[in-house]
Amino acid sequence: MRPRSFSGGLLLPSSSRSEPQPFEHVPFPETFFLPMKQHKGAGCRPLFKKDAAVQRGQILGQSSETAIQSPVSGHITEVNKGFRHLDGSITTCLTLAASEEAEQTTPAAQKAPVMDKILGSGVLDFGPAQPLMRKLIRAQERGVRTLIINSLDEFFVFGSRSALLVHHTSRAMEGIRLLQHMLQPETTYLAVYEQSLPLLDKDIPIPDSVRVVPLRAKHPQYKDPMLVSALTGQEYPMESSPLELGIASISLETASTLAAVVNHDEPNTHKPLTVLGPEPKEQNNVLVPLGSPIRHLLQHLGRESEDVAKVIVGGPLTGTALSSLDYPVTKEMDQIHFHRAKDQISYSSEVCVKCGYCVEVCPMRLMPFLLSGYSSTGFVDMAADNDIFSCIECGCCAYVCPVNIPLVQWIQVGKSRLSTNLRSEAV
Ligand code: SF4
Ligand code: SF4
């Protein structure tokens, strides 16, 4: 089958591997940091105070849509009410000291309805990270004709989602069947990069009701607007979601986690991550206990923290730089990149040379140089007239810009100023 694609974007770098690396288990650290907010939107309310003893899998924080479970048995040593989340907001963070029991056991699971299990284990979906329960309730209210299971990693052909697909196919299929049962779609697509198609385990049959569709390895194919358009030929306004078209797009990682918590009563305490170092061969797929400091993860991978100048959470073109290696691994992360000082890219203050490369690669058919220019000079209304809110911040434009203009950062500034203006007009 010919792989599907979209116009614009960037071809992904070819992988030196012929298949995704199996997951490596990162051991428990001695101390965990558990922010009560691990997705965009309101976080959870902490349920424990300092010195409280907790068990592995116990709910430490709860909201009406999600929860945070304890990754280990131990006790709370600190309740920090001033923890800064990646998005700049302030949340509460529990510090947890693991008990010394070599074997961390999990209390027997209680029989509970499926939605209660999803809520109690705080399963998230991605792009952007949001509680799965919220997404499922909206999908059930609106009705779903098409279910898309997204196994595409951001910017890498063989990252952690490909590893789940290729090395844990059975668990992924269980999750897909659960989603089909809950949403009753007429059609289910499993979106895979074309390189993964021949690697699917032939001994684990993919149900006939699931159509496996190969896609060209391009950035940002993993984003919903590109995925929906490549699979169904439909487009939707950026301010809405694929659900408006009767389409639910759910990550393969979410499907696998769903199978683990619903069918196997496992707590949601580990995170599949792709970790990338400065050299192309430094790529690891790891399963990390949630709440582990990034420093612990790097030490496990044999990297001294002095050697690391910057850690970026998210894809290489879209991620956010961390301010401290003590920041913990949270559910909303899917990739971590670390750079040495000599790998840093410096942005330039040079002016646009009107080469048009950014326009050529923009998958949303925007004029990035105009959006950035209007935002940086304060003409944000002109940026709005040129559809700045349709920008999905994929980073393709900045990647190809020959004079290194920080296009995405300026677009973000423009969006933020426009949103502030809209809010103050509404008051
Ligand atoms: S303008 Fe936005 S959508 Fe277009 S390439 Fe740049 S970041 Fe991507
Ligand atoms: S790629 Fe850079 S230099 Fe070229 S048109 Fe776009 S902003 Fe200008």
Name the residue with the closest Cα to ligand 1, atom 3. 391
Q: Yes or no: say if 34 and 60 are a contact pair by the CB < 8 Å rule.
A: yes
Give residue 238's pLDDT.
81
Q: What is the mean pLDDT of residues 236-257?
A: 94
Which amino acid is residue 151, in one-letter code?
S
Q: Name the more confident of 279 and 3.
A: 3
Name the residue with the closest Cα to ligand 2, atom 8. 352
Give the residues surrounding ligand 2 with Cβ less than 6 Å away: 352-358, 368-369, 400-403, 405, 407
Give residue 41's pLDDT.
82
Task: Say yes or no to pLDDT of 389 above 80.
Answer: yes
> What's the CA-to-centroid distance between 158 and ligand 1, angstroms?
24
Q: Which band of pLDDT confidence, cut at 50, 70 and 90, is reported for residue 319?
A: confident
> What's the CA-to-centroid distance between 371 and ligand 1, angstroms?
9
- C-beta of 397 in contact with ligand 1 (< 6 A): yes
Task: Say yes or no to pLDDT of 104 above 70.
Answer: no
> What's the CA-to-centroid distance between 361 and ligand 1, angstroms?
8
- C-beta of 387 in contact with ligand 1 (< 6 A): no
Write the pLDDT tens digit of every residue in 159-192.
Answer: 999 999 999 999 999 999 999 999 999 999 999 9
Q: What is the pTM of this model?
A: 0.92
**CA geometry: angle 59, 151, 8, nearest 5 deg:** 125
| Cis status, amide bond into 207, omega within 30 of 0 | no
Q: Is 10-21+123-263 a CATH 3.40.50.11540 domain?
A: yes
Name the residue with the closest Cα to ligand 1, atom 2. 391
CA of residue 12 relative to chain centroid, distance? 18
Write the pLDDT tens digit of every residue in 64-102.
Answer: 999 999 999 999 999 999 999 988 899 999 999 999 764
> What's the CA-to-centroid distance between 363 and ligand 1, angstroms?
7
Q: What is the mean pLDDT of residues 339-344?
A: 74
Give residue 345's pLDDT.
66
Mutate to test the pocket of ligand 2, among 351, 367, 369, 404 (most ligand atoms within 8 A of CB): 369
Write the pLDDT tens digit of every residue in 254-263.
Answer: 999 999 999 9
The Cα–Cα gap between 97 and 72 comes to: 9
- C-beta of 408 in contact with ligand 1 (< 6 A): yes
Give residue 135's pLDDT.
95
Give the nearest ligand 2 atom to 359 CA.
Answer: 6
Question: What are the residue ranges spanned by the domains of the chain?
Answer: 10-21+123-263, 357-426
Task: Say yes or no to pLDDT of 2 above 90.
Answer: no
Radius of gyration of the chain (CA): 22
Give residue 97's pLDDT.
97
